[in-house]
Structure 1
Amino acid sequence: MFHTQLEWLNTLKPNFKVLPLKERLLCGIGALLGLTISSFISWYVLGDFNAWYIAPMGASSVLLFAVPASPLAQPWNMVVGNVIAGVIGVTCAMYIPGQTEAFSIAVALSIFLMMTTDSLHPPSGAVAITAVLGGEPVHQLGYAFIFYPVLLNSVLLLVVAIIFNRMLGKQYPQVAQVNTRSKDPTPTQKVSIQPKDIQEVLDQQTELLDISEYDLQKIILQAQEKASARAVSQFCCQDIMSRDVISLHAEDDIHLALNKFKDMNLMSLPVINAEGGLVGTLALYEVVEWFKRAADPKAGWEHKVRHIMSKKVVTVQPMQPVHDLIPYFVERSFNYIPVVEQQRLVGIISRADMIAVLDRQLSTLLKQ
């Protein structure tokens, strides 16, 4: 009987991911910092003003710091939604005598207008109610209530949320599309599920989903990659890597590097130190840029590869599955990826290597 009751209670719970303890703590710390900083600045700007901070900002902080990927938490929704609710709430407070009727109509109109302008932000409903039930300090402000504290609080909290989420490595605000190079679908999408396919399905939905089309695309593509990985045999990086690696030394002269690019007809090369450790990568375009600024006296000291190389390098391990490399070659157009073991360059995997292994896997599937 007790077990049955627990199962019934589980049907009331959302199908929502419970984040690890560290992530939950960071969400709480973000809200703490956001509310404290924005509240202090609002208080400093407005002085002894009684309504220098409003309660709906607490609800906004839940979205901004706990679920920043939600469409409801985006800056447009935060600012525009609160402004719309503020305008409607103040107007209803002025012209509708009964408080119950005033805040009910204010919330209803706010929802309609926010959905019409694609700026739905749930805490904005509380902004509309605050404009009606906020008491004399709020009513005395009239339409100034929209600018302070509503707009002031919103912008300050939003700025803190952007900085905090970026510091944690989270993409906030959300970018509009997966393919950042063009409006076309990415190479992976062209042969699988495309954004227009997802959009057509979403257009048929009559309910608002609390997930962005961008995140939906990422989840579907990642799930498809995992499904494809189960359907093909797994190669490790050491199985297909080239061990006789053409590379540059950090102390090489840039002119020597250019000659190697010309002789090998390559667009980029890994850079190693005297011990054989990978320390960077140098692309041909970086050499071209160096020649462009060679006449600049400020750049006169640049004459070695280490002066102009990129120190940020994506690497893989010898035993890492080849399937992990596909997004780099397909979505980010990498020419090669170095294979590193104990910080030493032991091999390299080129785009041609990937094409060969994928062709073999495709042939194997067709024979099955």
Structure 2
Amino acid sequence: MGPYLRRTLRHAGPAMGFTGWTETLRATAGMFVGMVALILFLSPDPGASAWGLFVIAPFGASAVLLFALPNSPLAQPWSAVVGNAVSALIGVALVLTIETPELRIVLAPALAVLAMHLCRALHPPGGAVALATVLAPHAAAELGFFYVLVPVALGTLALVPVAALAAAMTGRRYPFRQPATAAPGQPEPRPLDRLGVSRAELAGLLQEFHQSANIGVEDLARLISAAELLAARHQTEGITCGEIMSRNLVTVGPETPLTEVGAIFRDRGFTSLPVVAADGSYLGVIFQIHLIRRGAEDARLSGTRFTANLARLLGAAGGRTVRAREVMDPHVPTRSPGTPVHDLLPLLAEGPNDAVPVLEGARILGIVTRTDLIAALAHQCKEEG
């Protein structure tokens, strides 16, 4: 067998791997529920239905996208509903204006693709909607342009909340464009912000490689960010937190005035300061941002200027003494000395904290800052180079 034939046969094989039984059964169950929802208020017999409330075959193709490929831009609500609706509009217009069946068949899918592109609503089943409309023109001729709304738009729209519910029940997200839910009190950076490139630049990449219909900009940003983290994990393989943490810690007690905390930040150039009890047990961490947030919150509540409130917090303008325990964060993620460094990558690369305390039991042994992590990565790259 020649190399050309082998290459051709290889390309003719499956283009995607098996998604696993969990994903397969999830999509199958979603399809079943979606079809049940349709059949509850749409008739399977067009002749026996009133007001155009009947099932059309392209709904099955739309359901495949919504339940089996919920992340795809082709499956999002705008693409599905508008794509099917404008395709039906094309089909009805051809039925009402052109008598030659062959010409209708030739024009319907082509014009449907044009209309979907113009509406930024590319949805492959839309081609089937347009073709089905001109192949069985009796319903379109009888209902006129009402056929676009019922059954096409209404039936497609009925699938969207069912797909969203099925996704939520199985740990997926649909529509996929909504941002991920952040942890309480910790805003989640958008993938585009973390990546450091603009939406227009990523959109340009997708257009350059002809992938705009296959993956969205936010999805591409997530994939690139995940790949960067994975590459960094490989570089830090075998390194633990205990090996790179800062050990000579400067700590404060819970009753330490913020005047002293501010002086330490100013004189030492720290960005984080652990808070420990009298017995040495770890209580929390103060980051510089905590002082700023406290000053901003006090300014908002009192209606005074931010700078005046920050000066009061740091003791420059008198007033009540604010203690470390009032501004520290006791919920900062912590790790043990044996934790692999790659476990810190998402915390320090994406999280709101500048450092991760390293604990042994209730006592703090050290702290890993972003600077420590960057130094470890640089050292590893130097050794590999």
Retained in 2: the 8 A contact 1:89–1:131? yes
Retained in 2: the 8 A contact 1:237–1:317? yes
Equivalent runs, 1:347-362 vs 2, <5 Å: 348-362=367-381
SS in structure 1 at match of 2:243:
helix
- CA, structure 1 residues 270+224, in 2 after alignment: closer, same or farther (shift >3 Å)? same
- CA, structure 1 residues 232+287, in 2 after alignment: closer, same or farther (shift >3 Å)? closer
Match of 1:241 in 2: 245
Match of 2:35 in 1: 35
Mean alpha-carbon deviation: is it higher for 315-324 or for 21-30?
A: 315-324
Mean alpha-carbon deviation: is it higher for 308-317 or for 127-136?
A: 308-317
Retained in 2: the 8 A contact 1:258–1:287? no
Q: Deviations over 1:259-307 (max 9, x none)?
A: 8965765888889999x79999995577568757989xxxxxxxxx999
- CA, structure 1 residues 19+269, in 2 after alignment: closer, same or farther (shift >3 Å)? farther
Q: How far did 1:95 drift? A: 1.6
Match of 1:15 in 2: 15
Match of 1:173 in 2: 176
| Runs of at least 5 residues in structure 1 that lack an aligned partner in the other structure | 296-304
CA distance in 2, matches of 1:285, 1:291: 10
Match status 1:53 vs 2:62: no
CA distance in 2, matches of 1:235, 1:149: 60
Aligned-residue Cα RMSD (Å) equals 4.9
- CA, structure 1 residues 232+201, in 2 after alignment: closer, same or farther (shift >3 Å)? same
Match of 1:299 in 2: none
Q: Tell me the TM-score normalised to structure 1 length.
A: 0.69
Q: Deviations over 1:323-359 (max 9, x none)?
A: 3433432344432235578999876432233233234
- CA, structure 1 residues 267+219, in 2 after alignment: closer, same or farther (shift >3 Å)? same
Bigger radius of gyration, 1 or 2?
A: 2
SS in structure 1 at match of 2:145:
helix
SS in structure 2 at match of 1:31:
helix
Match of 2:72 in 1: 70
Q: Deviations over 1:60-92 (max 9, x none)?
A: 121112112222112221122112101101111
SS in structure 2 at match of 1:93:
helix
Q: Tell me the TM-score normalised to structure 2 length.
A: 0.66
| Runs of at least 5 residues in structure 2 that lack an aligned partner in the other structure | 181-187, 303-323
Amino acid at match of 2:25: L
Aligned-residue identity in percent: 30
CA distance in 1, matches of 2:193, 2:377: 23
CA distance in 1, matches of 2:362, 2:106: 64
CA distance in 1, matches of 2:162, 2:341: 40
CA distance in 1, matches of 2:297, 2:128: 57
Match of 2:307 in 1: none
- CA, structure 1 residues 197+361, in 2 after alignment: closer, same or farther (shift >3 Å)? farther
Size of the aligned set, in residue pairs, is 343
Q: Deviations over 1:227-253 (max 9, x none)?
A: 45445664212323357989999xx89
